[in-house]
Amino acid sequence: MPRLVEVKPLLRYRLWLRFDDGVEGVVDLSGLVGKGVFVIWKDEERFRSVRIGDGGELVWEQDVDLCPDALYLEITGKRPAEVFPNLKTVQEIHA
């Protein structure tokens, strides 16, 4: 899986991301603002404090993080099986 190497916060709860395979793009996270742990984003300055964590995840303070794999899929429009070749579906496991 490609690793996240750069993140830049944009206006209106969007992030520009770049991965080590050259893929880059913008994700809109505005739909999460105020929901559950994402309540901290109601203050847009806190949203803008995003950084890449030690494990390659996106991190806000100590309590909020996002998996870069899901964001990679969103940017590329790929399905999980296209990115994770060893991924098995439930149907394949029970066949």
The CATH number assigned to the domain holding 18 equals 3.30.2020.10
Over residues 59-77, the mean pLDDT reads 92
Number of domain units in the chain: 1
* Predicted local distance difference test score (pLDDT) of residue 94: 56
- What is the mean predicted confidence (pLDDT) over 29-35? 96
Strands 64-66 and 58-60: antiparallel
Query: Once rounded to an integer, what is the mean pLDDT over residues 24-46?
Result: 95
Higher pLDDT, 80 or 27: 27
Q: What is the predicted pLDDT for the residue at 54? A: 93
**C-alpha angle with apex 60: 64 to 24, nearest 5 degrees?**
105
Give 95's pLDDT tier (boundaries 50, 70, 90): low
**Which residue range is the domain that position 21 belongs to?**
4-93
Bridge-based pairing state of the strands 14-19 and 4-10:
antiparallel
